[in-house]
């Protein structure tokens, strides 16, 4: 499978935000609510690293609970919208960066929660493995990796052109998207995580996952 360069993939995100001025603003996602009881098990003070935050609806939710939050997104449009949102909590910082670069720049063993809602579908398998290893490195023992990814049960997983099993390109974009099933979700635990929960939201066709660094 050929994945476009990172600048090309960032341009895909920017085009999306340019076309959809209201997307991912407003109240936190359902996955944020699902994550709450797991996040409550992490010892405070809580530092959250959100990858692919968009304009930060969930990042603001975390910040309102008193967490220190780094919201990382590679789209300058998304980051500008997040920064422009009124009443920005002081404990929330936005970073315009590729999520892999942001992980690499993060010190080891300090972060309580790494959180990614509907982002990892754009990663190639080697990139997903790298992300899992880096997330494991930056988390402190007992820290959580919370992520949501689209399921193969989603009707859109039948659209476009299949370029590998469960990987599809939907024109006009050239970006391959991976849809996950329980078996392929397991690759995220290989870096040394314990799986706490992996639940499919049947109505939304999305996997909700919580992994813990022992
Ligand atoms: C489907 S949106 C979800 C936004 C946000 N998590 C939410 O639920 O409100 C996916 C986000 O991931 C960002 N993204 C995709 N690939 C990225 C990468 N390599 N580095 C940083 N951000 C990325 C996109 O710009 C987009 O904002």
Please say whether the beta carbons of 209 and 197 come within 8 A: yes
Please say whether the beta carbons of 85 and 27 come within 8 A: no
How many Å apart are CA 38 and CA 113, to the nearest integer? 10
**Which residues does ligand 1 sit against, CB inside 6 Å?**
13, 24, 29, 52-54, 57-58, 72-75, 78, 98-99, 117-119, 122
Question: Which pLDDT score, from 0 to 100, does residue 214 have?
Answer: 97
pTM over the 0.85 mark = yes
Let me know if 182 is exposed, middle or buried by CB neighbors in 10 A (0-12, 13-18, 19+).
Answer: exposed
Identify the residue whose tokens are 């820290």: 143
What pLDDT digit, counting tens, does each position of 143-194 carry? 999 999 999 999 999 999 999 999 999 988 889 999 999 999 999 999 999 9
Residue 75 Cα: closest atom of ligand 1 = 25
């Amino acid at each position: 499978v050929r994945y476009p360069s990172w600048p090309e993939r960032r341009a895909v995100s920017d085009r999306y935000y340019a076309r959809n001025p209201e997307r991912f603003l407003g109240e936190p996602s359902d996955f944020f609510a699902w994550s709450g009881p797991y996040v409550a098990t992490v010892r405070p003070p809580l530092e959250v690293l959100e990858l692919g935050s968009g304009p930060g609806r969930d990042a603001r939710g975390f910040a309102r609970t008193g967490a220190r939050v780094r919201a990382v997104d590679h789209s300058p449009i998304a980051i500008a919208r997040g920064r422009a949102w009124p009443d920005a909590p002081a404990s929330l910082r936005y970073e315009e960066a590729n999520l892999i670069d942001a992980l690499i720049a993060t010190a080891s063993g300090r972060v309580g929660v790494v959180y990614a809602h509907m982002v990892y579908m754009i990663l190639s398998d080697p990139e997903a493995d790298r992300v899992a290893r880096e997330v494991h490195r930056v988390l402190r023992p007992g820290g959580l990796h919370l992520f949501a990814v689209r399921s193969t049960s989603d009707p859109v997983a039948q659209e476009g052109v299949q370029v590998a099993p469960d990987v599809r390109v939907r024109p006009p974009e050239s970006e391959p998207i991976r849809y996950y099933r329980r078996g392929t979700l397991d690759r995220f635990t290989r870096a040394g995580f314990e799986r706490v929960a992996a639940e499919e939201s049947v109505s939304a066709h999305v996997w909700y996952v919580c992994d813990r660094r022992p």
